Amino acid sequence: MAVAVKTSGGFCNAQQQWLHSTRDLFLYGYSHSNAKECKSKKTKRPASLRVKATSTKVELDFNDPSWKQKFQEDWDNRFNLPRITDIYDLKPRPTTFSLTKQRTPTGDEDSTPKDMWNGYVSNDDRALMKVIKYSSPTSAGAECIDPDCSWVEQWVHRAGPRKDIYYEPNEVKAAIVTCGGLCPGLNDVIRQVVFTLETYGVKNIVGIPFGFRGFYEKGLKEMPLSRNLVENINLAGGSFLGVSRGGPKTSEIVDSIQARRIDMLFVLGGNGTHAGANAIHDECRKRKLKVSVVAVPKTIDNDIPLMDKTFGFDTAVEEAQRAINSAYIEARSAYHGIGLVKLMGRSSGFIAMHASLSSGQVDVCLIPEVPFALDGEYGVLQHLEQLIKNTGFCVVCVAEAAGQELLQNSGATDASGNAILSDIGVHMQQKIKTHFKGIGVHADIKYIDPTYMVRACRANASDAILCTVLGQNAVHGAFAGFSGITSCICNTHYVYLPVTQVITAPKRVNHKGRMWHRCLTSTGQPDFR
C-alpha cells in the first residue's frame, strides 16, 4: 500500500429568534424555510411546530414528548463516521502506533512483556458539541433547537489513535494534497502527517503537486516524502507541495488514485476542497475501493461550520493587526488622516472582527454579515466626518465581502467556482475622497491591502500547535478505518466530523452574538443603516 498527502482549496415574534443565526442552521441541520409558519402574530408557541432535518427524512414535533430522543437519534445518525468497513468485511489488527519502546514484565507467570503506553482513544469516546445552556432564545448569541431553548446533548466522535487499525502499514501508500489558496500552516500539517505515518511504519508516502491538478496534469509527478525531507518545511510559509484551484472531474481523480494504488489520501483545504474530498470519498465507495479520504480544514477565513477555528486563522489575525497598526500610525501622523484596511473574508467577517477587537485601534469595522450604508445621515461617511472633527483621525477595517450589494456584480467566478468579489476597499477609498472633497474638508487617506502578505507567512505558535494535532489526528483517523471525515477542533476538543456536515454552507459571524457585541463596544461605532 502507499500513502499520499495532498493540500488545496415564520416564526412569530420572539420565536423566530431561536433559529435565527446561520450557525444554528448548520449546527443542528434544520432549515428555517421548512418550518411551519405561525398562524397568528402572538408569541405563543404554535400547536404543532415541525422542522425538517436537511440531511434526513426526520421531522420533529416539539409537542411530542419524545422529540429529544428523536433529535438525538437523528444527530447520531448524521454524525456517525463513515468507515471502510461499511463496504469491506475487514478484521482489525493491533496498532503499530506507540510512543514508548519500554517493555517490562507484568508479574504474570509467563512474564510476557506488555506495552506500558496507554494513550489510545476508545471508539466510544465522545465530546460535547456545545456546553452552554441558554435559558431563553433572546439570550445573546443563543443557539436553540426548540422555541423553549431546551438542553439536548449533542455528541461527536473524539479524535486520536485507536488500539485497532485496518491497514498494514508496510503495505500502505499514502498521499497528501494541498488545494485552494495559500494559508499559514500548510507545511506544518504536511510535516506532521509524514511524521505520524512513519511512526505507524508507513514507508511509501507521496505528495501530489499543485492541488487536484496534480492528479491529471501531464508533467506533474508525485513527490516522495520522508521525515528527513520535510523536517524543516514548517520554518517557511506557503505549501511545500504547491496549491491550485479547480481540477479534473471526480471520476478522473479516482482513476488516478486507483492507478497510483493510493490507500490513504489526506486533503488539506477549505469549503470547496472539503466538498471535493467528499465527492472523492463517495466515488471510492461506489467503486468499493479500500481508500481512506481524510480532510484537514484549511482556511484563514475561519468559515467552516461547527469548528472552533481552522488552522491559519490565528496567524491571519495576528498579521492583520500589523496592517491595522500601520494604518493607525499613518492616520495619526497625518492631518485628517484616515487609515483604511481591507482584510480577507470571502463570505464571513471573522478576520476583520477579531483583528479589530484585538488591535484596539479600529474605529469602524465592516463585515458582510452586517449590512451598512455609506451615504446618508446614518451612513459610514457621516460617521467618519464626525471622527475627523472630534479626534482628527480614524481607522477603518473592512472585510473583502462586505458591502457587495453597494457594488456592481460582475458575475465572474474563479477556478474553484467562487464568485469574484468587487473591490470594496478601492470603492470606499474613492467614496471617502469624494465625500470629504465635496464638503470642503481635507482628508489624507491611507489604503492598505495586506491580503497576500497575510496568506504567505509562516504559522504562529498557536496555529503551529493546531496544525500539529490536526495532522496527527488525520493519520490516526485513516488508520482507524474512517473515510469521508475531517480532523478538527470543536469546543476545545479534537474530534472527527463527517465531511457532509461541514460543507452545507460557510460559517458566518453571528451578528447577535457576544463577540460581535464586544467588537462594537471596542470600536464605538453606531448602526450604519
Q: Which residues are catalytic?
A: 301
Has 338 been labeled as part of a binding site? Answer: no
Cα Rg, the chain, nearest whole Å: 25
Contact 365, 525 (CB under 8 A): yes
d(CA 271, CA 250): 16
Has 299 been labeled as part of a binding site? Answer: yes
Has 227 been labeled as part of a binding site? Answer: no
Has 247 been labeled as part of a binding site? Answer: no
In this structure, the chain runs to a length of 529
d(CA 348, CA 351): 8
d(CA 462, CA 308): 13
Has 344 been labeled as part of a binding site? Answer: yes
* Residues whose CB falls within 8 Å of the CB of residue 512, separated by 6 or more in sequence, listed in order: 17, 20, 21, 140, 141, 142
> Could you identify the residue written with the cell 497598526?
325
Fill in the DSSP letter of residue 420. Answer: -
Residue type, 156: V
* Element at 4 (helix H, strand E): strand 2-7
Beta bridge partners of 399: 343
Has 484 been labeled as part of a binding site? Answer: no
Residue type, 162: R
- Name the nearest CA neighbour of 487 among 234, 233, 158: 158
* Residues whose CB falls within 8 Å of the CB of residue 102, separated by 6 or more in sequence, listed in order: 116
| Residue 490, SS3 per DSSP | strand
Has 300 been labeled as part of a binding site? Answer: yes
Residue type, 343: L
d(CA 492, CA 87): 33
Has 181 been labeled as part of a binding site? Answer: yes
Grid coordinates representing 47 are 400547536
d(CA 468, CA 465): 5
Contact 160, 126 (CB under 8 A): no
Has 452 been labeled as part of a binding site? Answer: yes
Has 285 been labeled as part of a binding site? Answer: no
Has 494 been labeled as part of a binding site? Answer: no
Has 5 been labeled as part of a binding site? Answer: no
Has 400 been labeled as part of a binding site? Answer: yes
Grid coordinates representing 85 are 468497513
Has 132 been labeled as part of a binding site? Answer: no
Has 270 been labeled as part of a binding site? Answer: yes
Has 529 been labeled as part of a binding site? Answer: no
Extract the annotated binding site for substrate: 299-301, 344-346, 400, 452-455
Extract the annotated binding site for ATP: 181, 245-246, 270-273
Extract the annotated binding site for Mg(2+): 271
Extract the annotated binding site: 181, 245-246, 270-273, 299-301, 344-346, 400, 452-455
